[in-house]
Amino acid sequence: MAFDLFLLEVVISGLMTGVMYSLVALGFVLIFKASGVFNFAQGVLALFAALALYDFLAEDGWFFAVFGFTLPVWLAIPATALIMIFLAWVIERAVLRFLVKQEEIILFMATIGLAFVLEGLGDLLFGSDVKPLDIGIPQGASDLLLDNFNLYVEKLEIVAAATAAVLVTALAIFFQKTRVGRALRAVADDHQAALSVGISLNKIWVIVWSVSGIVALVAGIMWGSKSGVQFSLSLIALKALPVLILGGFTSVPGAIVGGLIIGVGEKLAEVYVGPLVGGAIENWFAYVLALGFLLFRPQGLFGERIIERV
């Protein structure tokens, strides 16, 4: 019985971790869908968002230095969202519009360059100390579950899962039901045609990078609350990659389901197989899992079947 409960714990924490990965993967997918850009800077965006948010909340930040007061959380989050939108606008102005029509790998490189810029900028502006981010998300294990059922689940992760659910629902509505959402999907399908019917690509990119920036903000809040805001936050992008290949680069549900599979898979592997081979296998296991999956479905979980033509 105790053993089964442990298995359940592993699966649950895998699912929860998976949600955290999905939050990052989601940002990737949005940008890739709308602009074909494999945005390696997504992790750094999350870091940058978290840094900016911290700045509004803390007394050692720029905001306090300039205005002499800090913002309450409910104001700081929208303010950070505004910063992310501004950042999206700058990225579009300074990078994307000059790289239209380039090959994917060139755009990919450009986002790595962007990641460097943001990393350097983040360090210069906010310093590289660890910044504890506390926006009131409860920390630690859920006492309710632990005391009554001896089941260990982190409160933060419950909040993250709920937030992710809300976020995905909101995104789905946005994409399916609104005029701009329709335009976004149109752009994802065919840039040229979208341009020809009067959809401004530049505007769409700003929108989609803003949305991605806001998703990054959510990811940044969750990961920042978990491990403090510091440089390593940007490395979670690496954990999102296997999620992406599993779920497909263009599928929002893929990012979610992929995240869950990777989360559960790597935790089970680490806990049950890791001890046999010396541990620390979860990193590569996630990739091998995704790779094995790809060999059977080269287009990912929800990707479309590729029919090759000549």
Partner 1 sequence: MFYRENGQFKSSYSSDQAIFPIAQDRAFVIGILLVAFCGVPFFINEYWANAILIPLLVYALAGLGLNILTGYCGQVSLGTGAFMAVGAYASFKLVGFFPEVNYLILIFVSGLVTAAVGVVFGLPSLRIKGFYLAVATLAAQFFLIWLFNKVGWFYDHSPTGMITVRPIDFFGVRVTGPEATPAAKYLFTLTIIATLTLTAKNIVRGRVGRSWMAIRDMDIAAELIGIKPLQAKLSAFAVSSFYIGVAGALYFGVYLGSVEPLEAFDINQSFYVLFIIIIGGLGSILGAFLGAAFIVLLPILMKNLMVGGFGVASGTAGHVEILLLGALIIFFLIVEPHGLARLWQIAKEKLRLWPFPH
Partner 2 sequence: MNLRKLTGVAVAAVLALPMFASHANAYELVIPTLDYRTGPYAPNGIPLANAYSDYINLLNERDGGIEGVKIKHVDCETGYNTKKGVECYENIKNTAPSRALAIQPFSTGITYQLIPKSAVDEIPIFSMGYGRTSAANGKVFPWVFNFPATYWSQATALVQYIADQEGGMASLKGKKIYLVYHNSAYGKEPIRTLEALAEKYGFEYRGLPVDHPGQEQKATWLQIRKERPDWVLMWGWGVMNQVAIKEAASIRFPMDRFIGVWWSGSENDVLPAGEAADGYLSGAFHAAGGDFALHDDIRKYVYDKGMGAGDRDRIGEVLYNRGLVAVMWTVEAIRNAMKIHGTKEVTPAMVRDGFESLEVDEARLAELGLKDFTYGIKITCENHEGPGRVAVQQWDAKAKKWSMVSKFYEPLREITAPLIEADSMAYAKENNVTPRTCS
Partner 3 sequence: MSAVIQSEREALLSVNNIEVIYDHVILVLRGVSLEVMKGGVVALLGANGAGKSTTLKAISNLLGAERGDVTKGSITFQGEDVQSLSPNELVRRGVIQVMEGRHCFEHLTVEENLLTGAYTRTDGRSRVAEDLDLVYQYFPRLKERRTSQAGYTSGGEQQMIAVGRALMARPAVILLDEPSMGLAPQLVEEIFEIVKRLNEDEGVTFLLAEQNTMMALRYSNYGYILENGRVVMDGEASALAENEDVKEFYLGVSGDDRRSFRNVKAYRRRKRWLS
Site string for partner 1, 18-47 (x = CB under 8 A): --------------------x---------
Find out whether 259 and 18 touch, Cβ atoms under 8 Å: yes
**Strand partners of residue 229:** 131
Q: Does 309 bind partner 3 (CB under 8 A)?
A: no
Complex with partner 1: residue 176 or 283, whichever CB lies closer = 283
Shortest CB 200 distance to partner 3, Å: 4
Closest approach, Cβ 270 to partner 2, in A, equals 4
What is the per-residue binding string for partner 2 in 259-278, x denoting contact by CB under 8 A? Answer: -------xx--xx--xx--x
User: Angle 182-188-193 (CA atoms, 0-180°, nearest 5)?
Assistant: 85
Question: 174: which 2 tokens?
Answer: 């946005």
Q: Which of 238, 253, 268, 271 binds partner 1 (CB under 8 A)?
A: 238
Give the one entry of partner 2, partner 3, partner 1, none that residue 114 binds, where binding means its C-beta sits below a cut-off of 5 to 8 angstroms depending on kind: partner 1
Shortest Å distance, C-beta 155 to partner 2? 9
Q: How far is CA 61 from the centre of its chain?
A: 25
Residues 67-96 that bind partner 3 (CB under 8 A): none
Residues 286-305 that bind partner 1 (CB under 8 A): 287-288, 290-291, 294-295, 298, 300
Q: Which of 124, 197, 276, 307 binds partner 1 (CB under 8 A)?
A: 124
- Residue selected from 282, 290, 300, 302 as contacting partner 2 according to rule CB under 8 A: 282
Distances (CA, A) of 192 to 187, 195, 196: 8, 5, 6
CA 13/CA 19 separation, integer angstroms: 10
x-marked contacts with partner 2 along 103-142 as a string, rule CB under 8 A:
--------------------x----xxx-x------xxx-
Q: Which of residues 93-132 bind partner 3 (CB under 8 A)?
A: 100-101
Touching partner 3, residues 161-190 (CB under 8 A): 179, 182-183, 185-186, 188-190
Residue 283 near partner 1 by CB under 8 A: yes
> Which residues contribute to the site for partner 3 (CB under 8 A)?
100-101, 179, 182-183, 185-186, 188-201, 203
> Which residues contribute to the site for partner 1 (CB under 8 A)?
38, 94-95, 98-99, 102-106, 108-110, 112-121, 123-124, 128, 238, 241-242, 244-245, 249, 277-278, 280-281, 283-284, 287-288, 290-291, 294-295, 298, 300, 308, 310
